[in-house]
Chains A and B, each alone.
Chain A
Amino acid sequence: MIPQLVTVRYRRRDGRWRRWFVPVVPIVLVLSPLLVLAVVGGVIACLVFRMSAWGALRGAGRVLWSLPGTRFDLEDGHEGVRVSIR
Chain B
Amino acid sequence: MIRADAFLISIAVASALGVVAAQHQARQIFSELEREQARARELEVEWGQLQLEQSTWAALARVELIARERLGLQEPQPGRIVIVEVPR
Partners in one complex: no
A interface residues, Cβ below 8 angstroms from B: none
